[in-house]
Structure 1
Amino acid sequence: MAQAKEVHFSPMDSANGDKPLRKISEAFKDIANCINSQNQNPQQLELAPFSRACSLVSPLFRCLGIAFKFAEMDYVAKVNDLCETSKSISTLQSMMEKDIEANCVRKPGSHTRNLLRVKRGLDMVRILFEEIIVSEENSLKNPASKAYSEVFSPYHGWAVRKAVAAGMYALPTKAQLLQKLNEDEVSAKSEMQNYVAASTLVIVYIDRLFQSRELGIDW
């Protein structure tokens, strides 16, 4: 299986000419290709390249500021758990089976529970990118609000939802976000479209893993 490239960056890397958005889209295209490959067992996805690809997304939450601080902290912690777990467990399937055997799937801190939370982070970014691509506005408030409401809001209490709504007014503009990512609008839309296409396949794949084991995905 092709290995996703392990590259770490911060929002300030753009000053050095780095292309974090390209790294994200390429990493997820690698994962999507692995899922699609006829030469691979479609029931097995390696945890190490998956978790490394997910780690590349972490700074995006940081770029969005205080509105998504909760997402950054939660996502980063859970991706770190998957990265550490990948040192001893080879595939997502094996990881889930071990939690099922230990009867700890829904317990806080379980790897399977963390995977579900990470998947939601990927889904939030997917919707955010979809909305940015079609929006003519410089404001990110509407794209970010829709991404939050569709993915995270159903699982949050009133206090968190209110804090996120307040934080939406502190979001960077689209121009500021693209500057942080060292992209112009044309290149950014291309990389965002690549991520949307690849991540959609990955998200559906993970949902099917949960559903095939009758674990559900709404918890």
Structure 2
Amino acid sequence: MEGGREKPLRRIAEAFEGLAANSQTAPMEVDAFSRACSQVSVLFRCLGVAFKFAEMDYVAKVEDLSDASKSISTLNNLLEIDIQQDCVRRGGSHSRNLLRVKRGLDMVKVLFEQILQKDGNSLRDPASVAYAKVFAPHHGWAIRKAVAAGMYALPSKAQLLRKLNEDEASARTYMQTYIRCSGPVINSIEDLFNVRQLGIDW
């Protein structure tokens, strides 16, 4: 907190900076991963109705991983346990939830990239690109239609920054940090699935 104001964007950036640094030298811990991911929930909330589905789904999946961390140490172990129990792709499995959380992190990464690339105060184009790239291929027509309608209720970029208690300069710095640090984290999760020939497109 600074001057009594929450700084969620800074917390997100710092959490993933630490996660990325630690993942270079050791297997990623479920506890550290879920704690970092929990910081991102507030961003989905700030985006409003268009991403309400993502917020609810994401929060539930992160909570599941947090619970799993009490008995499972690393993401690698988490996946191996589900493979042994033949439940990797089963709804509600830790592995399936991990993939959903990874997707949420990826959406935020693309959203930040688009915000930094585009001029103007509207978030509709950045959010639409992020949704189309990450979530849309996995959603049916009804959800895609609802999200498209919700895009008109997105806050402006200025409104989002006010909710996050940031100015343009500080927001850009923290978004760049998240983009840089979330990339290796997302890639390492994809590698966990791909090296076992499980794919990530389900």
Report the TM-score when normalising by structure 2. Answer: 0.98
Say if 2:105 is the partner of 1:122. Answer: yes
Q: Hey, which bits of structure 1, 4+ residues long, moved more than 2 A?
A: 13-16
CA positional deviation for 1:80: 0.4
Q: Distance in 2 between matches of 1:69 and 1:147?
A: 15
Give 1:39-58 correspondences, 5 Å limit: 40=26, 44-58=27-41
Give 1:73-112 correspondences, 5 Å limit: 73-112=56-95
Partner of 2:185: 202
Question: Contact 1:14 / 1:182 at 8 angstroms: preserved in 2?
Answer: no
CA positional deviation for 1:126: 0.2
Q: Secondary structure at the match of 1:183?
A: coil
Q: Distance in 2 between matches of 1:196 and 1:178?
A: 17
Partner of 1:69: 52
Report the TM-score when normalising by structure 1. Answer: 0.90
Q: Distance in 2 between matches of 1:14 and 1:207?
A: 36
RMSD: 1.2
Partner of 2:145: 162
Q: Distance in 2 between matches of 1:142 and 1:14?
A: 31
Partner of 1:31: 19
Runs of 5+ in structure 2 lacking a partner?
Answer: none
Question: Contact 1:93 / 1:209 at 8 angstroms: preserved in 2?
Answer: yes
CA positional deviation for 1:36: 2.0
Provide Cα deviations, 1:68-117, integer angstroms capped at 9, x if missing partner. 01100110000000001001111001111100000000000000000000
CA positional deviation for 1:15: 8.7
Say if 2:140 is the partner of 1:152. Answer: no
Question: Contact 1:14 / 1:181 at 8 angstroms: preserved in 2?
Answer: no
Partner of 1:133: 116
Partner of 1:17: 5
Among the aligned pairs, what percent are the same residue?
63
- How many residue pairs match? The answer is 202
Aligned residue identity for 1:138: N
Aligned residue identity for 1:34: N
CA positional deviation for 1:16: 3.1
